[in-house]
Amino acid sequence: DGGITQSPKYLFRKEGQNVTLSCEQNLNHDAMYWYRQDPGQGLRLIYYSQIVNDFQKGDIAEGYSVSREKKESFPLTVTSAQKNPTAFYLCAISQGVNEQFFGPGTRLTVL
Q: Using the minimum distance from each CB to another protein, give the nearer residue, 76 or 90.
A: 90
CB nearer to another protein: give 11 or 43.
Answer: 43
Confirm if 108 and 86 have CB atoms less than 8 A apart: yes
Q: How far is the CB of 80 from another protein (least distance, A)?
A: 26
| Site residues, another protein (CB under 8 A) | 1, 6, 33, 40-43, 45, 48, 58, 88, 90, 92, 96-105, 107
Measured from the CB atom, the residue of 17 and 57 that comes closer to another protein is 57
**Least distance in Å: CB of 12 to another protein?**
16
